[in-house]
Amino acid sequence: MSLAIRFLGTSASRPTVERNVSSIALIREGETILFDCGEGTQRQMMRYGITFALDEIFFTHLHADHILGVIGLCRTLALQGRTETMRMYGPRGCEKVLRRALTLGNEREEFPVAISECRPGEPLKRGPYSILPFDVQHAGPSLGYALIEDDRLGRFNPDRARELGVPEGRMWGELHRGQSVRLEDGRTVTPGDLVGPPRPGRRVVITGDCLPSASTVEIAHGADLLVHEATFGEEEAVRAAETGHSTAKQAAEVAARAGAGQLALTHLSARYSRDAVELEREARAVFPNTIIARDGMTIEIPFRDAPESDAG
């Protein structure tokens, strides 16, 4: 079951030759979700193979470098004849701002757009996973988002099933789904005989622009991937605090406290656009499994290993 993110824009407030402004595509089993939509995002989508057949866009906050691209993207979708509803989500106040942007130059929207203002801590259920908005500290109402998959069924032991005389087919499926079965000889076989403990789903956390915070540590606890902004290096720590941003070292400290599996740094100031070696060095000194995101980079998120069942 595939899960990946592709970075469409990794620069901070202005684009550079190497980096566009903020946008991330998350692709799960063929479904694409966009997080932020800075200026030029639609071109980045075309450049890096992200489909326009998406239905949801999540905005972390309402600064121009995170929302301006939605105007052009929606114009293109309208010209392509889109009729399906686009759902957009964001922090408090997003509906007024986004409606104004979407009707710029037009009297009406070309296709339905549903806009919801998210409440931190209230998950949005999507079948086998949820999107959980959480509070982050930045200038104005701001949110981070976590994609959290449901736990998976435990591992089924087919060899042990055969030893116990459970016929392959319907009974195997029932046992795997947690139901006991009765064999022809009268014996009852329970799921505990053949199925291991539930295995965790995956968790991906995207902070948007933010100061380092306890809320991010909590949400990112045990995350497979934490995508955290790192606008500045340590030499600009005071400026980072004044502007509601993080340094690379601070982001790494968050990842370490959370026990995340991997950290990807994005939203880099233009001064680091070509050479982010110093940011990487500062972060890896605290959290070794750190990478500097770049436009077009894809990170695959595999399932974590789970212990084999010792049933029977």
Q: What is the mean pLDDT of residues 208-228?
A: 97
Strand partners, 81: none
Q: Which two tokens stand for residue 178?
A: 């947690």
Whether residue 309 is predicted with pLDDT greater than 70 in this model: the reply is: no
| Alpha-carbon Rg for the chain in angstroms | 22
Q: Does position 312 have pLDDT exceeding 60, yes or no?
A: no
**27-55 pLDDT per residue, tens:** 999 999 999 999 999 999 999 999 999 99
Confidence band for 311, pLDDT divided at 50, 70 and 90: very low
Domains present along the chain, CATH in parentheses = 3-152+199-300 (3.60.15.10), 158-194 (no CATH)
Positions annotated as catalytic residues are 65
Task: For Cα atoms 143, 145, 264, give the angle at the middle one, nearest 5 degrees.
Answer: 105
Q: 199-216 in b/e burial notation, b at 16+ Cβ within 10 A? A: ebbbbbbbbbbbbbbebb
The arithmetic mean of pLDDT across residues 151-166, rounded, is: 89
Q: How do residues 248-277 score in pLDDT, each as one tens digit?
A: 999 999 999 999 999 999 999 998 877 799
Please give the mean pLDDT across all residues of the chain: 93
Residue identified by tokens 């104004």 is 100
**Beta-carbon neighbour count of residue 120 at 10 Å?**
17
User: 283 — alpha (psi -120 to 50), left (phi > 0) or beta?
Assistant: alpha
